Chain A
Amino acid sequence: MWMGPSYAQGIHRVATEGSYPPWSFRDTDGVLRGWDVDIANALCERMKLRCEIVAQDWDGIIPGLLARKYDLIVASMAITEQRRQRVAFSSKYKETISRFIAKKGTPADVSPAALKGKVIGVQRGSIQAAYLAQIYRQSDLKFYDTAQAAELDLVAGRVDYILGNMVTYHVGFLKTPAAGAFAFTGPNLTGGLLGEGNAIAVRKDDTELLARVNAALDALRADGTYDRITAKYFPFKLM
């Protein structure tokens, strides 16, 4: 049987990860839920398409798209040069936001001048590490194997600041009891070395679908649906 795109039968399949709360996860009834799931549903409504959302393990998510198992990936996928060579990305639908955490009451000035000589902890090899190495050369940078190791040393008092993904901190570290004395400080940091953001992926030859996705994304953001969905999960904006 000729394996045309699933939308030849009128249904579009959308892949998401399914084990990455709060972006996509299964609730106690096994139903897929999460920010990405809601965005996907809203997009399909805007595009006037019938959609079916499926879960796919991260390792196989791009191969699955190329094998026509589904037509869209809405899974908080970061835009990278390597991935650009295999799929087409929509316009950005989520920023990769980084933010500093320090002891509560620390001044909000996190410019390189203000942090001169201070100790900043970061995960080795992360985009935040690349950013700090370039911009915060006069600070004492400490590189850790894992983000958690940096958090542990923040609590222990060995580092004054840590820099990492804002949302991951919000649902992770800042929810732990040890983080009681710490809070976000300084503004949201995005762009440049800190990443191009997340986007929706489609096959490179699906140019019509991509145009429709981009138009729908613009519409979602213009009429406030995007912010409404975000507000269900976070007390801050994602874009």
Chain B
Amino acid sequence: MVFLHGFETQLLLGAASTVQLAAAALALGTLLGACGCSLRLSRRRPLRAVGHAYIASMRGVPDLLIVFAAFFGGSWALGTVSGGTVDLNPFVAGTIALALSFGAYVAEIARGALASVPKTQREAARTLGLSRWRALCCVIFPQAARAALAPFGNQTIVLLKQTSIVSIVGCDELMRKAAEAAGATREPFTMYLAAACIYLVLTSLLSIGLAWAEGRVLRLDAR
């Protein structure tokens, strides 16, 4: 690929970072989403309010702002603690920010999925004598998970694309590598188009994987 002027390796390294960033944010974000959802569905009002506040604020504010807040706010916090100027690792700041945002959407997806399980299921579990916990884990959750799969998968694709935003605070993922290559070669169109193609491949692979997973779940259902 001579038109990439030797930057192919850099771009691919950037793509690897992008996937790492997305995976880290996915893991942390799913955890946050589970917490957010349980807060939101809690019996206690203050906990419900916290959950609601978290979800509403993350969904109402742009991801870029959350990334800046995490990066500059985090750096400032570290700086006041250590007494010097510290820059929070952009990868860490990016992961936290993306996870916070992703988690809010996951919480909503989980809430919607749980709500979509018919009440009759819960009643049937109770008549069968299952404890509340067993009913949740063996009857409600599996059905909710099936309902949540498609939206969760879609949100993961969104997450993968949103990793590009972390380049603005200096994280060395695909977007940043493309920007550096564009600066070095003075061919921004070529480099950004190459980055776009790589993103396209990544999201397409993810979409195909998602469709396969959905297909398998449907087949399980039909059994």
Contact = CB atoms under 8 A, between A and B. Distances in A.
Interface in A114-157: 145, 148, 152
B186 interface: yes
Interface in B143-174: 168
A178 interface: yes
A148 B186 CA distance: 12
A152 B183 contact: yes
A148 B168 contact: no
B219 to A, nearest CB: 49
A58 to B, nearest CB: 11
B186 A178 contact: yes
Contacts of A152: 183
A229 B186 CA distance: 35
Contacts of B183: 148, 152
A220 B183 CA distance: 41
Contacts of B168: 145
Nearest to A155: B186
Nearest to B186: A178
A145 B175 CA distance: 15
Interface in B68-101: none
A145 B183 CA distance: 14
Contacts of B186: 178
Nearest to B188: A152
Interface in A175-212: 178
A178 B187 CA distance: 12
Nearest to B180: A148
Contacts of A148: 183
A178 B183 CA distance: 11
A231 B219 CA distance: 79
A145 B186 CA distance: 18
Contacts of A178: 186
Nearest to B179: A149
Interface string B182-199: 010010000000000000
Nearest to B182: A152
A148 B180 CA distance: 10
A178 B188 CA distance: 14
A87 to B, nearest CB: 14
A178 B186 CA distance: 9
B119 to A, nearest CB: 53
B185 to A, nearest CB: 11
Nearest to B84: A59
A148 B168 CA distance: 14
A145 B64 CA distance: 14
Nearest to B170: A145
B158 to A, nearest CB: 24
A201 to B, nearest CB: 16
A148 B179 CA distance: 11
A62 to B, nearest CB: 9
A152 B192 CA distance: 15
B72 to A, nearest CB: 11
4 contacts: A145-B168, A148-B183, A152-B183, A178-B186
Going nearest first, the 4 A-B pairs with the smallest beta carbon separation are: A148-B183, A178-B186, A152-B183, A145-B168
Interface of A: 145, 148, 152, 178
Interface of B: 168, 183, 186
